[in-house]
Amino acid sequence: MEDTTLQELRDAVAALTEQVAVLEARVVSLEDCRAIPEADLVAIGAAVAAYFGHKAKVRAIRYGSQTRWAAASRARVHDRSVPHVR
């Protein structure tokens, strides 16, 4: 009886190994077809972390698409100081 269960386990492991190989091949083909944007990966990672109860702290924010000129203009618009002294 032990030999049959051992053989069944070996067959199950072989089937699972074959399924994993097929799934890995499909993932590689999907990765080749389309790249996932970094913003989407960050959102997915944050959702998974929140689901598992991790309370994250924002340590840095980076705006990659803005130029220094745009950032300076925005800072100048939101500046509440008096532009001249009487």
Which residues, including other chains, have CB under 8 Å from residue 49's CB and lie 6 or more apart? 56
Judged by average pLDDT, the poorest of 4-8, 20-24, 27-31 is 27-31
Angle at CA of residue 64, ends 60 and 70, nearest 5°:
105
Q: What is the pTM of this model?
A: 0.36
Q: What is the mean pLDDT of residues 23-36?
A: 82
pLDDT digits (tens, 9 = 90+) for 8-27: 999 999 999 999 999 999 98
- The pair of three-digit structure tokens given for residue 11, joined into one six-digit string: 């067959």
